[in-house]
Structure 1
Amino acid sequence: MGSLYSEYGTVARPRPRDADTLLDLVGLADKADAKIRTLSGGQRRRLDVAVGIVGRPEVLFLDEPTAGLDPDARRGFHELIHALVDEEETTVLLTTHDLGEAERLADRVVILAGGRIVADATADALADTLGRETQVRWSLDGHVHVHATHAATRFVRDLLNGPEGSRIGGLEVRRPSLEDSYLALVDSALEASITTEEAA
């Protein structure tokens, strides 16, 4: 597979990747001499990723790449994607139903509902456009307090600089998740679609 890319290599972007380095990158170094039919489902998914990046692509399309991976392999895959984007400036287009994964990996999120794009922004911007508040939770003298706010940074700063700031523990700031945004946007899109169909 790698030989297909050798004529496209440059000094800045040598192609293909060294096979041993590539297998190490995807966590299959110990399977270098194994036949593909002997690999587990998760190991085959990792091999698929290796095949996808052997030629050092400038644009990489991934469809549900972590399906079937155990948590350790999934974390390793996320680190690999960050390295491809940060160190090699690879553009990655990833489709996933795992919204936590999308939130961890994506600079930009496109949400589809009914075959149409209903949102295209960062995860934070999606939460902001929906007007969702951030929850701040903390404990003070054995009591748990929760406050919802649109200005979490300012609220936490004031809280910690206040007269009881030194006694505050268990501070947690929870912004609306991508899942919260996704559900709200898809529900809204479906409602709009139903209303349009009824009007027609």
Structure 2
Amino acid sequence: MKAITSALAMRFMLSGVGGALTGLLAYALSNIHGYALFVTVGLIGGIAIFFLSQFYSRNVSLTEVVVTVPQLSQMTFMVNNTSRQAAWEIFVEVATRVSTQPLGREDGFLRESLNSLYQLFGQTRTLLKNMQPGKVSHENTVEYLALTMLNRELRPFLSKWHPRLSRFEQETAADDAAWLDGAEFREELEQLRGRLLEFAFAFARLAGAPNPQVLLATAP
């Protein structure tokens, strides 16, 4: 309650200061004549156009994008420059990990694969925390798609396999190649990879990447 009151008081003060400055500017303009008046009005108009163009490029210039992702079927997004940038950053995180790159039956260490997925979860969550919420009403957003990927795909997989692999590591000093659950882990990892690949393509389309198949070197 105290924080809300402080915020309202700050807004009230800023509104008062803004009103006072507006009145002062109006008074100053009323006393300017000749070329100085035209120069001043032109300067103010130029600054206003600059800020309006920035607002338009970030929030108004919207593009409709239709993508298909697992568990969500076909979805329509309205994206602007800010959401395109966020989608590109998430795409890069997904596309450069084991989440979309196949792991051969005899390749790699399973712990490293699991850690890579944990890092993908953490990096994506950090990106979402640092971005502003989508301002487009009644439409799907990039952050909704990202949270769906985290909560419906990554979280269940990590919740299942992290305790099982950790238990094996605590009980034996053997390499994870000797883990009896390793084959099942690889099989489910490959299934997860197929679904995350769909998410990666969706993020690439939202980012406006022209050839996501080339970037991922494969197709879903």
TM-score, shorter chain, exceeding 0.5: no
Bigger Rg over Cα: 2
Q: TM-score, normalised by structure 1?
A: 0.23
Structure with greater strand percent = 1
Q: TM-score, normalised by structure 2?
A: 0.22
Structure with greater helix percent = 2
